[in-house]
């Protein structure tokens, strides 16, 4: 099985999700793939389940948005949109459609990035991540809706980040209750376990992959 990972969700003008994972040459291989989605990249992962479910052996959601058909209701939005009001005004807004229209993307202010996203990660990693951080599409996130695929045919594993300040554990639990995966794992990290505990995250991903093989 070939692994691929989606970090956050990329968008086109048609508000569809496309990431390196969904463009991977693995789709043309007879071998099934394991897909890993982190944070809003869970939306890309869900779209892949709809479009390429017959090519996917396992879907792993790491502190990721996990809704079977995207954001359909106000309750869905409440379950997945981070409530960061305790930190004050954490975002810079981009008005790509003009100042008289709602913002099209948001960007974390630098002073809040480590506090919310990387508080348990090595400082050098958080500095590099801050340099690479890009705005998130506000429109795409709120209008993400998927249909047409049998998403239940693919085994799913959710990895909960227990010290997450971005997608809080209770938000993760709400998504798990709404669409129960085959297995739930936990890791005692911030929102970015690939920085704060990369070896432990790798161990969990391999464990989930091996369990998926054993289940077949």
- Judge whether 164 counts as a catalytic residue: yes
Beta pairing, strands 56-62 & 33-38: parallel
Q: How far is CA 50 from CA 117, 145, 157, 213, in A?
A: 29, 11, 17, 21
Tell me which of 76, 79, 164, 190 is the catalytic residue.
164
Question: What is the rounded CA–CA span in Å between residue 34 and residue 160?
Answer: 18
Tell me which of 44, 57, 126, 191 is the catalytic residue.
191
- Judge whether 76 counts as a catalytic residue: no
Q: Is the CB of residue 42 less than 8 Å from the CB of residue 18?
A: no
Helix, strand, coil tally for the chain in percent (to 5): 40, 20, 40
Q: Environment class of residue 187 by beta-carbon count within 10 Å: exposed (0-12), middle (13-18) or buried (19+)?
A: buried
Tell me which of 7, 38, 39, 196 is the catalytic residue.
39
- Judge whether 191 counts as a catalytic residue: yes
Q: Which residues are the active-site residues?
A: 39, 164, 191
């Amino acid at each position: 099985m070939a692994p691929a990972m989606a970090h956050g969700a990329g968008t086109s003008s048609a508000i569809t999700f496309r990431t390196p994972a969904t463009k991977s040459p693995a789709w043309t291989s007879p071998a099934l793939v394991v897909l890993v989605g982190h944070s809003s990249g869970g939306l890309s992962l869900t779209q892949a389940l709809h479009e390429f479910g017959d090519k996917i052996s396992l879907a792993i959601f790491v502190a990721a948005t996990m809704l079977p058909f995207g954001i359909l209701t106000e309750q869905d939005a409440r379950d997945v949109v981070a409530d960061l009001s305790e930190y004050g005004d954490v975002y810079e807004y981009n008005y790509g459609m003009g100042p008289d229209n709602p913002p099209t993307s948001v960007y974390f202010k630098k002073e809040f990035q480590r506090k919310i996203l990387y508080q348990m990660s090595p400082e050098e990693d958080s500095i590099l991540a801050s340099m690479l951080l890009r705005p998130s599409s506000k429109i795409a996130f709120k209008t993400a809706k998927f249909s047409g695929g049998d998403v239940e045919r693919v085994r799913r594993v959710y990895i909960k980040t227990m010290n997450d300040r971005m997608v809080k554990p209770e938000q993760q639990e709400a998504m798990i209750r709404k669409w129960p995966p085959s297995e739930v794992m936990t890791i005692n990290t911030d929102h970015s376990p690939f920085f704060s505990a990369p070896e432990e995250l790798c161990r969990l991903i391999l464990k989930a992959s091996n369990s998926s093989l054993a289940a077949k």
